[in-house]
């Protein structure tokens, strides 16, 4: 079997790349270890930057997003028991974010690829990447029936997430990993309840951070900072609601609308970057190359931004044989990656409770939140980073 671009992983990066390449007439095969139903049902992130939305519309996969996505013109930062609004639209000259869950993005991309006759192999597990430094790299994989297969490619795109085979295929001596682990995680829930606020609420409280988000008018997504080694079984519904209510409580009397909790999970928090994002003809993108802590909702958007750059570079190569954009891929993508790393780290640091922090740090944190919510330059910086830079 052979193709032009072998793509490992049918997440946002892999599927978006396959669709972008198809629009240029470049052929790809996507190999995904999980079944289609699992990808289409697993609930993950929810916030799309303006440029992610614009790109999806431009390339013909934005119809349902336009219809069902909910535009958020701003967000609320909550501290000292009060909400403070950051108006994205006003501060960025009209840019906003859209709440549209990641698994809905994936459904739209999978449908678009399959409708166009695209080749996505689900339950196909890549075992090795061979000869990445040669002009004809190869992927070895086990197909759904358990048979060993191989795929010859011109290029390989590693879009297989933090725990995939792509990043480890770059020899240790050829890459540098940058890692920061945070001493806390996020306890996430999905519940059957109406929204508690019209916009997302990022809350800083002495007991720790909480985030009030949404999925649909009937289903809400909420998170609270927790011990990363805690177990979801330790948390009854009553205990979860008591903790969440405490973290958003305040003199304005704000209360969360409670409802049956039907999913609980704990997400660890880390910041990670692998440099460079290329080894020979292997290019890594999205979580395969970097992880951000969820505060600020950059993960999916960064994956899309990476493959936007990669698609252009591959387009140039197939158009005139020139390598210049491919050679620049890592450096170009990393500039945005590090900007998002800084933003996600900054939002995390400003809003979470650090065990070792003393009273000085608490006061400093509150002063920073006061600066961000009461001065235009600081609010603008948050807003611009949140809605994201234009692509390219
Ligand atoms: C969601 C997650 C985030 O990390 C965030 O910053 C905003 C929203 C969410 O899952 O809805």
Q: Which atom of ligand 1 is nearest to the CA of 296?
A: 6
Alpha carbon nearest to ligand 1 atom 5, residue: 297
Q: Is the CB of 221 under 6 A from ligand 1?
A: yes
Is pLDDT at 45 greater than 90 in this prediction? no
Give residue 345's pLDDT: 98
Helix (H) or strand (E) holding 48: strand 47-48
Helix (H) or strand (E) holding 74: strand 74-79
**Ligand 1: centre distance to CA 215 (Å):** 10
Active site residue 135: no
- In the β-sheet with 201-203, what is the strand arrangement from edge to edge? 82-87, 74-79, 201-203, 210-214, 219-226, 176-192, 260-275, 290-291
Is pLDDT at 114 greater than 90 in this prediction? yes
Q: Is the CB of 29 under 6 A from ligand 1?
A: no
Active site residue 163: no
Catalytic residue among 100, 279, 329, 386: 386
Give the integer Cα–Cα distance in Å for 170 and 304.
22
Is pLDDT at 43 greater than 90 in this prediction? no
Tell me the pLDDT tens digit for each residue of 224-263. Answer: 999 999 999 999 999 999 999 999 999 999 999 999 999 9
Q: Which of 229, 253, 220, 226 is CA-nearest to residue 239?
A: 226
Strands, E assignment, 200-329: 201-203, 210-214, 219-226, 260-275, 278-279, 282-284, 290-291
Number of C-beta neighbours around residue 193 at 10 A: 17
Q: Are 36 and 114 in contact (CB under 8 A)?
A: no
Query: Taking residues 93-112, what's their average pLDDT?
Result: 97
Is pLDDT at 44 greater than 90 in this prediction? no
Tell me the pLDDT tens digit for each residue of 135-178. Answer: 999 999 999 999 999 999 999 999 999 999 999 999 999 999 99
Active site residue 111: no
**Ligand 1: centre distance to CA 44 (Å):** 9
User: The pTM is what?
Assistant: 0.97
Q: Which atom of ligand 1 is nearest to the CA of 215?
A: 11
Place of tokens 């990656």: 337
**Ligand 1: centre distance to CA 31 (Å):** 28
Active site residue 202: yes
Is pLDDT at 349 greater than 90 in this prediction? yes
Residue 378 sits at φ, ψ, to 5 deg, of -70, -40
Residue 227 buriedness (CB in 10 A; 0-12 / 13-18 / 19+) = middle
Tell me the pLDDT tens digit for each residue of 177-224. Answer: 999 999 999 999 999 999 999 999 999 999 999 999 999 899 999 999
* Cα 113–Cα 119–Cα 123 angle in degrees, nearest 5: 105
Number of C-beta neighbours around residue 41 at 10 A: 11
Tell me the pLDDT tens digit for each residue of 270-322. Answer: 999 999 999 999 999 999 999 999 999 999 999 999 999 999 999 999 999 99
Catalytic residue among 22, 107, 137, 202: 202
Alpha carbon nearest to ligand 1 atom 3, residue: 297
Strands, E assignment, 80-233: 82-87, 97-99, 119-121, 125-130, 138-142, 148-152, 155-158, 176-192, 201-203, 210-214, 219-226
Q: Is the CB of 344 under 6 A from ligand 1?
A: no
Give residue 227's pLDDT: 97
Compute CA distances 41 → 5, 102, 128, 200, 289, whole Å: 27, 10, 28, 23, 24
Q: Are 388 and 301 in contact (CB under 8 A)?
A: yes
Residue 55 sits at φ, ψ, to 5 deg, of -65, -45
Alpha carbon nearest to ligand 1 atom 10, residue: 45
Give the integer Cα–Cα distance in Å for 129 and 151.
10
Most informative mutation of 199, 203, 213, 300 for ligand 1 (most atoms within 8 A of CB): 213
Active site residue 377: no
Q: Are 122 and 14 in contact (CB under 8 A)?
A: no
Number of C-beta neighbours around residue 57 at 10 A: 13
Residue 297 buriedness (CB in 10 A; 0-12 / 13-18 / 19+) = buried
């Amino acid at each position: 079997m052979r193709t032009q671009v072998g793509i490992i992983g049918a997440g946002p990066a892999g599927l978006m790349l396959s669709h972008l390449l198809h629009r240029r007439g470049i052929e790809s095969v996507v190999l995904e270890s999980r079944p289609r139903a699992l990808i289409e049902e697993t609930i993950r992130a929810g916030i799309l930057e303006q440029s992610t939305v614009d790109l999806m519309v431009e390339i013909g996969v934005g119809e349902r997003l336009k219809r069902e996505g909910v535009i958020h013109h701003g967000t609320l930062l909550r501290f000292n028991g009060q909400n403070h609004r950051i108006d994205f639209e006003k501060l960025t000259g009209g840019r906003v974010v859209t709440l549209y869950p990641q698994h809905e993005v994936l459904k739209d991309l999978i449908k678009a690829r399959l409708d166009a006759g695209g080749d996505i192999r689900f339950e196909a597990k890549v075992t090795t990447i061979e000869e990445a430094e040669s002009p004809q790299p190869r992927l070895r994989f086990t197909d759904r029936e358990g048979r060993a297969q191989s795929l010859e490619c011109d290029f390989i795109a590693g879009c297989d997430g933090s725990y995939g085979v792509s990043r480890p295929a770059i020899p240790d001596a050829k890459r540098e990993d940058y890692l920061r682990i945070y001493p806390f995680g996020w306890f996430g829930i999905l519940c059957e309840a109406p929204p508690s606020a019209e916009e997302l609420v990022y809350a800083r409280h002495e007991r720790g951070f909480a985030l009030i988000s949404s999925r649909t008018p009937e289903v809400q997504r909420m998170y609270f900072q927790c011990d990363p080694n805690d177990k979801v079984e330790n948390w009854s519904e009553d205990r979860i609601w008591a903790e969440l209510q405490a973290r958003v409580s305040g003199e304005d009397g704000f209360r969360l609308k409670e409802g049956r909790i039907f999913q609980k999970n704990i997400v660890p928090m880390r910041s990670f970057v692998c440099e460079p994002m290329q080894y020979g003809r292997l290019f890594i993108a999205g979580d395969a190359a970097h992880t951000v802590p969820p505060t600020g909702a950059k993960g999916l958007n960064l994956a899309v931004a990476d493959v936007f750059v990669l698609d252009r570079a591959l387009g140039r190569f197939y158009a005139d044989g020139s390598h210049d954009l491919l050679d620049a891929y890592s450096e170009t993508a990393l500039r945005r990656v590090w900007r998002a790393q800084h933003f996600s780290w900054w939002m995390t640091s400003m809003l979470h409770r650090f065990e070792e922090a003393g009273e000085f740090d608490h006061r400093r944190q509150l002063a920073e939140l006061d600066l961000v919510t009461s001065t235009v330059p600081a609010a603008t910086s948050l807003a611009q980073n949140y809605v994201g830079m234009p692509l390219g």
